[in-house]
Amino acid sequence: MRHKALVFLSVLAVIVMAVAGPSASVGAGQAHAEQASLADEFGHASQEYGVPKELLLAMGYVNTRWEMPPPSASDYEADDPEGQGNYGVMALMKNPSMDTLDKAASLTGLSRDQLKTDRAANVRGGAAVLADLAGTQKPADLGGWYDVVSRYGDGTQYADQVYEVLKSGASADISTGEHLELAPQNVEVPQRFSVQATGDYPGSTWYGNGGSNYTNSNREATYDINTIVIHVTQSSWSSAINWFASPNNTGSSAHYVVRSSDGFIGQSVHEEDIAWHAGWWKTNKHSIGIEHEGYINNPSWFTDAMYRSSAKLSAYLAKKYRIPIDRKHIIGHNEVPGCPGPGGGVDCHTDPGKYWNWKKYMDLVRGYAGGTSSGSTYTQVVDNTTSGRFRASDGWGSSSYSGQRYGANYRFLMRPLSVSDNAGYKISTPAKDSYAVYGWWPADPGYNDRTTFRIKTPSGWVKRVVNQRTNGGTWVRLGTYTLGAGDSYRVEVSSKSPDAGYIIADAVKIVRR
Protein backbone atom coordinates (compact mmCIF):
# COMPACT_ATOMS: atom_id res chain seq x y z
CA MET A 1 0.00 0.00 0.00
CA ARG A 2 1.49 3.32 -1.09
CA HIS A 3 2.36 6.33 1.09
CA LYS A 4 -1.09 7.90 0.56
CA ALA A 5 -2.40 5.32 3.00
CA LEU A 6 -0.52 7.08 5.80
CA VAL A 7 -3.48 9.43 6.01
CA PHE A 8 -5.82 6.46 6.43
CA LEU A 9 -6.79 7.05 10.06
CA SER A 10 -7.19 10.80 9.79
CA VAL A 11 -9.34 10.45 6.68
CA LEU A 12 -11.38 7.76 8.38
CA ALA A 13 -12.00 10.07 11.32
CA VAL A 14 -13.29 12.78 8.97
CA ILE A 15 -15.58 10.29 7.24
CA VAL A 16 -16.95 8.98 10.55
CA MET A 17 -17.65 12.58 11.66
CA ALA A 18 -19.40 13.24 8.36
CA VAL A 19 -21.46 10.07 8.62
CA ALA A 20 -22.43 10.86 12.19
CA GLY A 21 -23.36 14.44 11.38
CA PRO A 22 -26.99 15.64 11.46
CA SER A 23 -27.30 16.43 7.77
CA ALA A 24 -25.33 13.84 5.80
CA SER A 25 -26.48 13.80 2.19
CA VAL A 26 -26.66 10.80 -0.13
CA GLY A 27 -27.88 12.77 -3.13
CA ALA A 28 -30.21 11.92 -6.04
CA GLY A 29 -33.47 12.39 -4.22
CA GLN A 30 -32.50 10.50 -1.05
CA ALA A 31 -31.60 12.75 1.86
CA HIS A 32 -32.04 12.10 5.56
CA ALA A 33 -32.34 14.64 8.33
CA GLU A 34 -30.25 12.30 10.44
CA GLN A 35 -27.80 9.58 9.40
CA ALA A 36 -29.48 6.18 9.50
CA SER A 37 -27.86 3.10 11.00
CA LEU A 38 -26.02 0.79 8.60
CA ALA A 39 -28.75 -1.81 9.10
CA ASP A 40 -31.33 0.76 8.00
CA GLU A 41 -29.18 1.74 5.02
CA PHE A 42 -29.07 -1.88 3.92
CA GLY A 43 -32.83 -2.04 4.43
CA HIS A 44 -33.53 1.10 2.37
CA ALA A 45 -31.31 -0.14 -0.48
CA SER A 46 -32.95 -3.55 -0.35
CA GLN A 47 -36.43 -2.09 -0.70
CA GLU A 48 -35.46 0.38 -3.43
CA TYR A 49 -33.75 -2.15 -5.70
CA GLY A 50 -35.39 -5.45 -4.77
CA VAL A 51 -32.20 -7.08 -3.50
CA PRO A 52 -32.40 -9.24 -0.34
CA LYS A 53 -31.16 -7.34 2.71
CA GLU A 54 -29.45 -10.50 3.99
CA LEU A 55 -27.45 -10.71 0.78
CA LEU A 56 -26.30 -7.10 1.09
CA LEU A 57 -25.31 -7.72 4.72
CA ALA A 58 -23.28 -10.81 3.80
CA MET A 59 -21.50 -9.00 0.98
CA GLY A 60 -20.69 -6.04 3.22
CA TYR A 61 -19.27 -8.37 5.85
CA VAL A 62 -17.06 -10.19 3.34
CA ASN A 63 -15.89 -6.91 1.80
CA THR A 64 -14.98 -4.83 4.86
CA ARG A 65 -16.48 -6.37 8.02
CA TRP A 66 -19.16 -3.63 7.60
CA GLU A 67 -16.66 -0.79 7.98
CA MET A 68 -16.42 2.14 5.56
CA PRO A 69 -12.76 2.54 4.58
CA PRO A 70 -11.66 5.80 3.01
CA PRO A 71 -10.84 5.79 -0.72
CA SER A 72 -7.12 5.99 0.04
CA ALA A 73 -7.24 2.53 1.61
CA SER A 74 -7.12 0.83 -1.79
CA ASP A 75 -7.12 3.41 -4.58
CA TYR A 76 -6.08 1.75 -7.81
CA GLU A 77 -2.33 1.74 -8.48
CA ALA A 78 -1.00 -0.54 -11.20
CA ASP A 79 2.19 -1.53 -9.38
CA ASP A 80 0.75 -1.93 -5.87
CA PRO A 81 -0.77 -5.32 -4.92
CA GLU A 82 -3.01 -3.60 -2.38
CA GLY A 83 -4.09 -0.89 -4.85
CA GLN A 84 -7.00 -2.83 -6.35
CA GLY A 85 -9.39 0.12 -6.64
CA ASN A 86 -12.25 -1.15 -4.48
CA TYR A 87 -14.36 1.30 -2.51
CA GLY A 88 -16.60 1.22 0.53
CA VAL A 89 -18.72 -1.38 2.28
CA MET A 90 -19.94 -2.75 -1.06
CA ALA A 91 -16.44 -2.85 -2.61
CA LEU A 92 -17.41 -0.94 -5.74
CA MET A 93 -14.53 -1.50 -8.15
CA LYS A 94 -12.69 0.72 -10.60
CA ASN A 95 -9.64 -0.87 -12.20
CA PRO A 96 -8.77 -2.27 -15.64
CA SER A 97 -10.62 -5.49 -14.83
CA MET A 98 -13.87 -4.17 -13.30
CA ASP A 99 -15.79 -0.88 -13.20
CA THR A 100 -18.80 -1.25 -10.94
CA LEU A 101 -18.13 2.23 -9.52
CA ASP A 102 -19.07 4.03 -12.73
CA LYS A 103 -21.94 1.60 -13.27
CA ALA A 104 -23.31 2.50 -9.84
CA ALA A 105 -22.95 6.21 -10.62
CA SER A 106 -24.89 5.76 -13.86
CA LEU A 107 -27.67 3.74 -12.21
CA THR A 108 -28.15 5.98 -9.15
CA GLY A 109 -27.19 9.45 -10.36
CA LEU A 110 -24.71 9.72 -7.49
CA SER A 111 -21.20 11.03 -8.09
CA ARG A 112 -18.09 8.89 -7.83
CA ASP A 113 -16.99 10.84 -4.77
CA GLN A 114 -20.34 10.22 -3.03
CA LEU A 115 -20.14 6.52 -3.81
CA LYS A 116 -16.57 6.35 -2.52
CA THR A 117 -17.01 8.33 0.69
CA ASP A 118 -20.67 8.25 1.79
CA ARG A 119 -21.70 4.96 3.34
CA ALA A 120 -25.41 5.11 2.51
CA ALA A 121 -24.58 6.09 -1.06
CA ASN A 122 -22.11 3.24 -1.36
CA VAL A 123 -24.65 0.67 -0.11
CA ARG A 124 -27.26 2.06 -2.47
CA GLY A 125 -24.81 1.90 -5.38
CA GLY A 126 -23.93 -1.73 -4.65
CA ALA A 127 -27.61 -2.70 -4.51
CA ALA A 128 -28.25 -0.92 -7.80
CA VAL A 129 -25.45 -2.82 -9.56
CA LEU A 130 -26.71 -6.16 -8.18
CA ALA A 131 -30.25 -5.41 -9.36
CA ASP A 132 -28.98 -4.45 -12.80
CA LEU A 133 -26.94 -7.67 -13.07
CA ALA A 134 -30.00 -9.70 -12.07
CA GLY A 135 -32.21 -8.13 -14.74
CA THR A 136 -35.97 -7.82 -14.70
CA GLN A 137 -36.59 -11.39 -13.49
CA LYS A 138 -34.85 -11.32 -10.12
CA PRO A 139 -34.15 -14.63 -8.33
CA ALA A 140 -36.97 -15.82 -6.09
CA ASP A 141 -34.72 -16.81 -3.16
CA LEU A 142 -31.24 -16.20 -1.77
CA GLY A 143 -29.80 -19.30 -3.43
CA GLY A 144 -30.73 -17.98 -6.84
CA TRP A 145 -28.51 -14.91 -6.47
CA TYR A 146 -25.25 -16.91 -6.54
CA ASP A 147 -24.39 -16.26 -10.20
CA VAL A 148 -25.27 -12.55 -9.84
CA VAL A 149 -22.93 -12.24 -6.84
CA SER A 150 -20.23 -14.08 -8.76
CA ARG A 151 -20.44 -11.56 -11.60
CA TYR A 152 -20.49 -8.66 -9.13
CA GLY A 153 -17.29 -9.89 -7.47
CA ASP A 154 -15.55 -11.06 -10.67
CA GLY A 155 -15.46 -14.74 -9.77
CA THR A 156 -16.92 -17.71 -7.95
CA GLN A 157 -14.38 -17.34 -5.13
CA TYR A 158 -16.16 -14.15 -4.10
CA ALA A 159 -19.61 -15.75 -4.32
CA ASP A 160 -18.39 -18.71 -2.26
CA GLN A 161 -17.19 -16.37 0.50
CA VAL A 162 -20.50 -14.52 0.53
CA TYR A 163 -22.54 -17.70 0.67
CA GLU A 164 -20.40 -19.17 3.42
CA VAL A 165 -21.20 -16.05 5.49
CA LEU A 166 -24.89 -16.36 4.61
CA LYS A 167 -24.87 -19.97 5.77
CA SER A 168 -22.95 -19.39 9.02
CA GLY A 169 -24.20 -15.90 9.91
CA ALA A 170 -22.08 -13.03 11.21
CA SER A 171 -22.01 -10.29 13.84
CA ALA A 172 -19.73 -7.37 14.59
CA ASP A 173 -19.43 -4.10 16.51
CA ILE A 174 -18.29 -1.48 14.03
CA SER A 175 -16.38 1.76 14.55
CA THR A 176 -19.48 4.00 14.38
CA GLY A 177 -20.77 2.34 17.56
CA GLU A 178 -23.32 0.11 15.83
CA HIS A 179 -23.80 -3.60 16.40
CA LEU A 180 -24.86 -5.63 13.37
CA GLU A 181 -25.99 -9.22 13.14
CA LEU A 182 -26.80 -11.50 10.24
CA ALA A 183 -28.67 -14.65 11.27
CA PRO A 184 -27.67 -17.93 9.54
CA GLN A 185 -29.63 -18.41 6.33
CA ASN A 186 -30.89 -21.60 4.71
CA VAL A 187 -28.52 -21.59 1.73
CA GLU A 188 -25.86 -23.90 0.33
CA VAL A 189 -22.48 -23.06 -1.17
CA PRO A 190 -22.72 -24.64 -4.65
CA GLN A 191 -20.42 -27.63 -5.17
CA ARG A 192 -18.85 -27.30 -8.61
CA PHE A 193 -17.58 -30.35 -10.48
CA SER A 194 -13.88 -29.53 -10.44
CA VAL A 195 -10.69 -29.94 -8.47
CA GLN A 196 -8.11 -27.24 -7.86
CA ALA A 197 -4.44 -27.85 -8.42
CA THR A 198 -2.29 -27.73 -5.32
CA GLY A 199 0.21 -24.92 -4.88
CA ASP A 200 3.93 -25.26 -4.21
CA TYR A 201 3.17 -25.34 -0.48
CA PRO A 202 1.28 -28.57 0.30
CA GLY A 203 -1.33 -26.67 2.32
CA SER A 204 -2.20 -24.25 -0.51
CA THR A 205 -4.47 -24.20 -3.55
CA TRP A 206 -3.33 -22.86 -6.92
CA TYR A 207 -5.42 -20.07 -8.50
CA GLY A 208 -2.88 -18.59 -10.92
CA ASN A 209 -2.05 -15.14 -12.20
CA GLY A 210 -2.89 -12.88 -15.11
CA GLY A 211 0.25 -13.83 -17.02
CA SER A 212 1.66 -10.30 -17.29
CA ASN A 213 1.98 -9.36 -13.62
CA TYR A 214 5.05 -11.35 -12.57
CA THR A 215 8.47 -12.33 -13.93
CA ASN A 216 9.08 -15.90 -15.04
CA SER A 217 12.25 -17.15 -13.43
CA ASN A 218 14.11 -20.09 -11.95
CA ARG A 219 15.10 -18.50 -8.69
CA GLU A 220 16.53 -21.56 -7.01
CA ALA A 221 19.20 -21.52 -9.74
CA THR A 222 19.37 -17.76 -10.35
CA TYR A 223 18.55 -15.85 -7.17
CA ASP A 224 18.88 -16.61 -3.49
CA ILE A 225 15.42 -16.49 -1.84
CA ASN A 226 16.25 -14.97 1.53
CA THR A 227 13.25 -12.84 2.61
CA ILE A 228 9.53 -13.20 3.39
CA VAL A 229 7.41 -10.05 3.06
CA ILE A 230 4.14 -9.78 5.02
CA HIS A 231 1.31 -7.84 3.35
CA VAL A 232 -2.35 -6.98 4.05
CA THR A 233 -4.71 -7.04 1.05
CA GLN A 234 -6.90 -4.00 1.88
CA SER A 235 -9.70 -6.10 0.39
CA SER A 236 -11.40 -9.46 0.75
CA TRP A 237 -9.42 -12.65 0.12
CA SER A 238 -11.39 -13.41 -3.03
CA SER A 239 -10.91 -9.90 -4.38
CA ALA A 240 -7.14 -10.28 -4.10
CA ILE A 241 -7.18 -13.78 -5.64
CA ASN A 242 -9.34 -12.58 -8.54
CA TRP A 243 -7.25 -9.44 -9.07
CA PHE A 244 -3.96 -11.33 -9.18
CA ALA A 245 -5.51 -13.78 -11.68
CA SER A 246 -6.95 -11.08 -13.94
CA PRO A 247 -5.36 -10.71 -17.40
CA ASN A 248 -6.08 -6.98 -17.05
CA ASN A 249 -3.71 -6.76 -14.09
CA THR A 250 -0.31 -5.99 -15.58
CA GLY A 251 1.40 -4.47 -12.55
CA SER A 252 1.14 -6.44 -9.29
CA SER A 253 0.90 -9.87 -7.69
CA ALA A 254 1.90 -11.88 -4.63
CA HIS A 255 2.86 -15.50 -4.18
CA TYR A 256 0.30 -16.43 -1.50
CA VAL A 257 -2.94 -15.00 -0.05
CA VAL A 258 -4.16 -16.14 3.42
CA ARG A 259 -7.87 -15.98 4.31
CA SER A 260 -8.96 -14.46 7.62
CA SER A 261 -11.80 -16.76 8.65
CA ASP A 262 -10.00 -20.10 8.47
CA GLY A 263 -6.42 -19.51 7.29
CA PHE A 264 -7.08 -21.04 3.86
CA ILE A 265 -4.16 -20.29 1.50
CA GLY A 266 -4.37 -19.52 -2.20
CA GLN A 267 -1.32 -19.27 -4.44
CA SER A 268 -1.07 -16.89 -7.39
CA VAL A 269 2.62 -17.02 -8.39
CA HIS A 270 4.99 -19.99 -8.17
CA GLU A 271 7.82 -19.60 -5.66
CA GLU A 272 10.47 -19.97 -8.37
CA ASP A 273 8.97 -16.97 -10.19
CA ILE A 274 9.23 -13.31 -9.15
CA ALA A 275 6.00 -11.78 -7.89
CA TRP A 276 5.64 -8.00 -8.16
CA HIS A 277 4.69 -7.27 -4.58
CA ALA A 278 7.38 -5.39 -2.69
CA GLY A 279 7.60 -2.16 -4.71
CA TRP A 280 11.37 -2.63 -5.02
CA TRP A 281 12.96 -4.90 -7.61
CA LYS A 282 15.88 -6.04 -5.47
CA THR A 283 13.48 -7.22 -2.77
CA ASN A 284 11.13 -8.81 -5.31
CA LYS A 285 13.99 -10.88 -6.75
CA HIS A 286 14.89 -12.41 -3.40
CA SER A 287 11.58 -12.67 -1.55
CA ILE A 288 8.27 -14.49 -1.18
CA GLY A 289 5.24 -12.20 -0.76
CA ILE A 290 2.41 -13.34 1.53
CA GLU A 291 -0.81 -11.31 1.48
CA HIS A 292 -3.27 -11.50 4.40
CA GLU A 293 -6.97 -10.74 3.98
CA GLY A 294 -8.15 -7.60 5.74
CA TYR A 295 -7.57 -3.94 6.43
CA ILE A 296 -4.67 -2.57 8.46
CA ASN A 297 -6.89 -0.41 10.71
CA ASN A 298 -9.18 -3.25 11.82
CA PRO A 299 -7.54 -5.91 14.04
CA SER A 300 -10.56 -8.22 13.83
CA TRP A 301 -9.25 -9.50 10.48
CA PHE A 302 -6.08 -10.89 12.08
CA THR A 303 -7.52 -14.10 13.50
CA ASP A 304 -5.69 -16.87 15.30
CA ALA A 305 -6.45 -19.18 12.36
CA MET A 306 -4.81 -16.68 9.99
CA TYR A 307 -1.71 -16.24 12.18
CA ARG A 308 -1.22 -19.98 12.59
CA SER A 309 -1.77 -20.85 8.95
CA SER A 310 0.54 -18.09 7.74
CA ALA A 311 3.17 -18.98 10.33
CA LYS A 312 3.15 -22.61 9.13
CA LEU A 313 3.66 -21.34 5.60
CA SER A 314 6.53 -19.06 6.65
CA ALA A 315 8.13 -21.89 8.65
CA TYR A 316 7.90 -24.13 5.60
CA LEU A 317 9.48 -21.45 3.39
CA ALA A 318 12.19 -20.69 5.96
CA LYS A 319 13.24 -24.33 6.12
CA LYS A 320 12.94 -24.88 2.38
CA TYR A 321 15.09 -21.86 1.43
CA ARG A 322 17.19 -21.62 4.63
CA ILE A 323 15.77 -18.21 5.47
CA PRO A 324 16.79 -17.06 8.97
CA ILE A 325 13.76 -16.73 11.22
CA ASP A 326 14.31 -13.18 12.42
CA ARG A 327 12.90 -9.73 11.76
CA LYS A 328 15.63 -8.90 9.25
CA HIS A 329 14.44 -11.66 6.94
CA ILE A 330 10.72 -11.82 7.75
CA ILE A 331 9.58 -8.24 7.28
CA GLY A 332 6.50 -6.12 6.72
CA HIS A 333 5.74 -4.42 3.43
CA ASN A 334 6.44 -1.14 5.23
CA GLU A 335 9.97 -2.37 6.00
CA VAL A 336 11.06 -3.09 2.43
CA PRO A 337 14.55 -1.57 2.19
CA GLY A 338 15.38 0.73 -0.68
CA CYS A 339 11.77 1.69 -1.36
CA PRO A 340 11.79 5.12 -3.06
CA GLY A 341 11.28 8.15 -0.89
CA PRO A 342 13.04 9.73 2.07
CA GLY A 343 13.13 7.41 5.06
CA GLY A 344 12.91 4.17 3.08
CA GLY A 345 9.98 1.78 3.24
CA VAL A 346 7.89 3.70 5.74
CA ASP A 347 7.24 6.39 3.15
CA CYS A 348 6.01 3.86 0.61
CA HIS A 349 3.85 1.29 2.38
CA THR A 350 2.06 0.94 5.68
CA ASP A 351 1.00 -2.72 5.80
CA PRO A 352 0.75 -4.88 7.82
CA GLY A 353 0.11 -1.96 10.18
CA LYS A 354 0.16 -1.44 13.93
CA TYR A 355 -2.35 -4.19 14.72
CA TRP A 356 -0.25 -6.98 13.24
CA ASN A 357 1.14 -8.92 16.22
CA TRP A 358 4.73 -9.51 15.26
CA LYS A 359 5.69 -11.20 18.54
CA LYS A 360 2.89 -13.75 18.24
CA TYR A 361 3.67 -14.34 14.58
CA MET A 362 7.42 -14.84 14.99
CA ASP A 363 6.93 -17.10 18.02
CA LEU A 364 4.57 -19.25 15.94
CA VAL A 365 6.97 -19.39 12.99
CA ARG A 366 9.83 -20.47 15.25
CA GLY A 367 7.62 -23.05 16.93
CA TYR A 368 6.41 -24.56 13.68
CA ALA A 369 9.90 -24.55 12.16
CA GLY A 370 11.24 -26.43 15.17
CA GLY A 371 8.35 -28.87 15.53
CA THR A 372 6.87 -31.73 13.58
CA SER A 373 4.05 -29.65 12.12
CA SER A 374 6.36 -28.11 9.54
CA GLY A 375 9.47 -30.24 9.61
CA SER A 376 8.46 -33.90 9.40
CA THR A 377 6.87 -34.14 6.00
CA TYR A 378 6.73 -37.59 4.41
CA THR A 379 6.42 -37.51 0.63
CA GLN A 380 6.45 -40.23 -2.00
CA VAL A 381 6.11 -39.78 -5.76
CA VAL A 382 5.34 -42.73 -8.02
CA ASP A 383 5.63 -42.18 -11.77
CA ASN A 384 4.43 -44.59 -14.43
CA THR A 385 8.11 -45.40 -15.06
CA THR A 386 9.00 -46.02 -11.38
CA SER A 387 10.41 -49.55 -11.30
CA GLY A 388 8.25 -52.07 -9.45
CA ARG A 389 5.67 -49.46 -8.43
CA PHE A 390 3.41 -49.07 -11.46
CA ARG A 391 1.31 -51.67 -13.22
CA ALA A 392 -0.83 -51.50 -16.35
CA SER A 393 -1.80 -54.00 -19.04
CA ASP A 394 -0.52 -53.85 -22.62
CA GLY A 395 -3.79 -52.12 -23.47
CA TRP A 396 -2.35 -48.94 -21.95
CA GLY A 397 -0.19 -47.20 -24.55
CA SER A 398 2.88 -45.09 -23.82
CA SER A 399 3.52 -41.55 -25.07
CA SER A 400 5.87 -38.62 -24.56
CA TYR A 401 3.82 -36.32 -26.79
CA SER A 402 2.82 -33.74 -24.21
CA GLY A 403 5.37 -31.43 -22.62
CA GLN A 404 3.15 -31.38 -19.52
CA ARG A 405 4.06 -34.99 -18.69
CA TYR A 406 5.76 -35.93 -15.44
CA GLY A 407 9.07 -37.58 -16.27
CA ALA A 408 9.84 -39.27 -19.57
CA ASN A 409 6.36 -40.35 -20.63
CA TYR A 410 2.82 -41.25 -19.57
CA ARG A 411 0.39 -44.11 -20.19
CA PHE A 412 -2.99 -43.81 -21.91
CA LEU A 413 -6.15 -45.55 -23.05
CA MET A 414 -7.48 -44.17 -26.32
CA ARG A 415 -11.05 -44.63 -25.08
CA PRO A 416 -12.80 -45.83 -21.89
CA LEU A 417 -13.39 -49.55 -21.56
CA SER A 418 -16.47 -51.46 -20.48
CA VAL A 419 -14.31 -53.80 -18.38
CA SER A 420 -11.99 -53.12 -15.48
CA ASP A 421 -8.36 -52.72 -16.60
CA ASN A 422 -7.08 -50.15 -14.13
CA ALA A 423 -3.57 -48.71 -13.96
CA GLY A 424 -2.15 -48.96 -10.44
CA TYR A 425 0.46 -47.23 -8.25
CA LYS A 426 2.22 -49.02 -5.41
CA ILE A 427 2.54 -46.69 -2.44
CA SER A 428 4.72 -47.17 0.65
CA THR A 429 3.28 -45.62 3.83
CA PRO A 430 5.28 -45.61 7.11
CA ALA A 431 2.18 -45.64 9.34
CA LYS A 432 -1.59 -45.62 9.25
CA ASP A 433 -2.32 -41.91 9.04
CA SER A 434 -3.92 -39.12 7.01
CA TYR A 435 -2.20 -38.41 3.70
CA ALA A 436 -2.86 -35.83 1.04
CA VAL A 437 -3.07 -37.60 -2.33
CA TYR A 438 -2.20 -35.83 -5.59
CA GLY A 439 -2.41 -36.72 -9.25
CA TRP A 440 -0.40 -35.41 -12.22
CA TRP A 441 -1.42 -35.62 -15.85
CA PRO A 442 -0.91 -33.68 -19.09
CA ALA A 443 -4.08 -31.89 -20.22
CA ASP A 444 -5.57 -31.77 -23.70
CA PRO A 445 -9.04 -31.03 -25.17
CA GLY A 446 -9.12 -34.59 -26.49
CA TYR A 447 -8.58 -36.17 -23.08
CA ASN A 448 -11.29 -37.52 -20.78
CA ASP A 449 -13.25 -35.04 -18.67
CA ARG A 450 -14.53 -37.60 -16.14
CA THR A 451 -11.53 -39.72 -15.22
CA THR A 452 -11.80 -41.66 -11.97
CA PHE A 453 -8.95 -42.01 -9.50
CA ARG A 454 -9.47 -44.75 -6.90
CA ILE A 455 -7.78 -44.46 -3.47
CA LYS A 456 -7.60 -47.48 -1.18
CA THR A 457 -8.38 -46.71 2.47
CA PRO A 458 -8.73 -49.17 5.39
CA SER A 459 -12.52 -49.02 4.94
CA GLY A 460 -12.48 -49.56 1.16
CA TRP A 461 -11.87 -47.81 -2.16
CA VAL A 462 -12.80 -44.13 -2.49
CA LYS A 463 -13.43 -42.55 -5.91
CA ARG A 464 -12.33 -39.08 -7.04
CA VAL A 465 -13.45 -37.84 -10.48
CA VAL A 466 -11.28 -35.30 -12.30
CA ASN A 467 -11.25 -33.47 -15.62
CA GLN A 468 -8.07 -34.35 -17.55
CA ARG A 469 -8.75 -31.61 -20.08
CA THR A 470 -7.61 -29.06 -17.48
CA ASN A 471 -4.95 -28.56 -14.76
CA GLY A 472 -2.23 -30.24 -16.82
CA GLY A 473 1.42 -30.28 -15.84
CA THR A 474 0.94 -29.71 -12.11
CA TRP A 475 0.07 -31.59 -8.95
CA VAL A 476 -3.69 -31.67 -8.42
CA ARG A 477 -4.93 -32.40 -4.92
CA LEU A 478 -7.36 -35.34 -4.97
CA GLY A 479 -8.12 -35.06 -1.27
CA THR A 480 -6.87 -36.20 2.14
CA TYR A 481 -7.45 -39.86 3.03
CA THR A 482 -6.55 -42.34 5.74
CA LEU A 483 -4.08 -44.84 4.31
CA GLY A 484 -2.94 -48.03 6.03
CA ALA A 485 0.66 -48.81 6.87
CA GLY A 486 2.83 -50.85 4.54
CA ASP A 487 3.49 -51.21 0.85
CA SER A 488 0.64 -51.89 -1.58
CA TYR A 489 -1.23 -50.65 -4.62
CA ARG A 490 -3.23 -47.82 -3.06
CA VAL A 491 -4.02 -45.55 -6.03
CA GLU A 492 -5.54 -46.51 -9.38
CA VAL A 493 -6.68 -44.78 -12.56
CA SER A 494 -9.88 -46.43 -13.70
CA SER A 495 -10.29 -47.70 -17.25
CA LYS A 496 -14.01 -46.85 -17.15
CA SER A 497 -15.67 -43.48 -17.75
CA PRO A 498 -19.11 -42.33 -18.93
CA ASP A 499 -17.48 -39.81 -21.30
CA ALA A 500 -15.19 -40.14 -24.31
CA GLY A 501 -11.54 -39.16 -24.57
CA TYR A 502 -8.09 -40.46 -23.73
CA ILE A 503 -7.64 -41.60 -20.10
CA ILE A 504 -4.19 -40.72 -18.77
CA ALA A 505 -2.10 -42.43 -16.07
CA ASP A 506 1.05 -40.41 -15.38
CA ALA A 507 2.15 -39.88 -11.75
CA VAL A 508 0.76 -39.72 -8.21
CA LYS A 509 2.12 -38.31 -4.94
CA ILE A 510 1.26 -38.66 -1.26
CA VAL A 511 2.19 -36.19 1.48
CA ARG A 512 1.90 -36.61 5.24
CA ARG A 513 2.55 -33.54 7.37
CATH of residue 452: 2.60.120.260
How confident is the model at residue 98, as a pLDDT?
94
> What pLDDT tens digit does each residue of the chain (513 aa) get?
554 444 343 344 433 334 333 333 334 334 333 568 999 999 999 999 999 999 999 999 999 999 999 999 999 998 899 999 999 999 999 999 999 999 999 999 999 999 999 999 999 999 999 999 999 999 999 999 999 999 999 989 999 999 999 999 999 999 999 999 999 999 987 765 455 677 889 889 999 999 999 999 988 667 789 999 999 999 999 999 999 999 999 999 999 999 999 999 999 999 999 999 999 999 999 999 999 999 999 999 999 999 999 999 999 999 988 899 999 999 999 999 865 544 444 447 889 999 999 999 999 999 999 853 333 468 899 999 999 999 999 999 999 999 999 999 999 999 999 999 999 999 999 888 888 899 999 999 999 999 999 999 998 999 999 999 999 998 888 988 889 999 999 999 999 999 999 999 999 999 876
If one counts the domains in the chain, the total is 3
Residues 177 and 53 in one domain: yes
Residues 147 and 246 in one domain: no
How confident is the model at residue 480, as a pLDDT?
83
**Using CA atoms in the order 441, 443, 449, 451, what is the torsion angle rounded to 10 degrees?**
-10
Instruction: Please tell me the distance from the alpha carbon of residue 285 to that of residue 288, in angstroms, as a whole number.
Output: 9
Q: Is 187 inside a domain boundary?
A: no
Ramachandran angles phi, psi of 485, nearest 5°: -80, 155
How confident is the model at residue 337, as a pLDDT?
81
Residues 161 and 237 in one domain: no
How confident is the model at residue 345, as a pLDDT?
43
How confident is the model at residue 27, as a pLDDT?
40
CATH code assigned at 37: 1.10.530
How confident is the model at residue 69, as a pLDDT?
95
Question: Is 239 in contact with 98 (CB distance < 8 Å)?
Answer: no
How confident is the model at residue 170, as a pLDDT?
95
As a residue count, the chain comes to 513
Residues 345 and 416 in one domain: no
Q: Which stretches within 345-463 are classed as H helix?
A: 358-370, 372-375
Instruction: Please tell me the distance from the alpha carbon of residue 435 to that of residue 453, in angstroms, as a whole number.
Output: 15
| Nearest residue to 469 via CA among 497, 496, 500, 448 | 448
User: What is the biggest distance separating any 2 CA atoms in the chain, rounded to whole angstroms?
Assistant: 82
How confident is the model at residue 8, as a pLDDT?
40
Q: Is 89 inside a domain boundary?
A: yes
Residues 171 and 208 in one domain: no
* Sign of CA pseudo-dihedral 287, 292, 296, 299: negative
Residues 396 and 425 in one domain: yes
Q: Is 345 inside a domain boundary?
A: yes
Q: Is 193 inside a domain boundary?
A: no
How confident is the model at residue 90, as a pLDDT?
98
Going through 240-359 in order, the beta strands assigned E by DSSP cover: 256-258, 265-267, 274-275, 287-292, 330-332
Question: Is 495 in contact with 416 (CB distance < 8 Å)?
Answer: yes
Q: Which of 349, 375, 401 is the last residue of a domain?
A: 375
How confident is the model at residue 34, as a pLDDT?
55
Q: Which of 318, 341, 375 is the last residue of a domain?
A: 375
Residues 90 and 152 in one domain: yes
Residues 451 and 476 in one domain: yes
| Nearest residue to 197 via CA among 512, 429, 513, 509 | 509
Q: Is 198 inside a domain boundary?
A: no
Instruction: Please tell me the distance from the alpha carbon of residue 257 to that of residue 272, in angstroms, as a whole number.
Output: 17
How confident is the model at residue 29, as a pLDDT?
39
Residues 40 and 28 in one domain: yes
How confident is the model at residue 49, as a pLDDT?
97
- Amino acid at residue number 228: I
Residues 360 and 456 in one domain: no
| Nearest residue to 506 via CA among 394, 388, 402, 393 | 402
Q: Which residues constitute the domain of residue 91?
A: 3-182
How confident is the model at residue 26, as a pLDDT?
38
Residues 246 and 368 in one domain: yes
Question: Which residues have CB under 8 Å from 367's CB, separation 6+?
Answer: 311, 315
How confident is the model at residue 339, as a pLDDT?
59
Q: Is 259 inside a domain boundary?
A: yes
* Sign of CA pseudo-dihedral 388, 394, 395, 398: positive
Can you say how many angstroms the Cα of residue 309 is from the centroid of all Cα atoms in its chain?
13
Q: Is 199 inside a domain boundary?
A: no
Q: What is the pLDDT of residues 253-281, one digit of tens each?
A: 999 999 999 999 999 999 999 999 999 99
Residues 140 and 13 in one domain: yes
